[in-house]
Amino acid sequence: MKEYMSELYGYVFHYNHFTELWSAIPREKYNQYWDNDGTQGVLQSKSIDTLIEMIIKGDKFIKTIKK
- Rounded-to-integer distance, Cα 43 and Cα 53, Å: 11
Its pTM stands at 0.81
How many CB atoms lie under 10 A from the CB of residue 66?
4
Q: How confident is the model at residue 8 (pLDDT cuts 50, 70, 90)?
A: confident
- The domain locations on the chain are 2-59
Instruction: Express each pLDDT in 9-23 by its tens digit.
Output: 899 999 999 999 999
Cβ-contact 42, 12 below 8 angstroms: no
- Rounded-to-integer distance, Cα 27 and Cα 13, Å: 10
Q: Which of 50, 32, 8, 5 is nearest to 42 (CA)?
A: 32
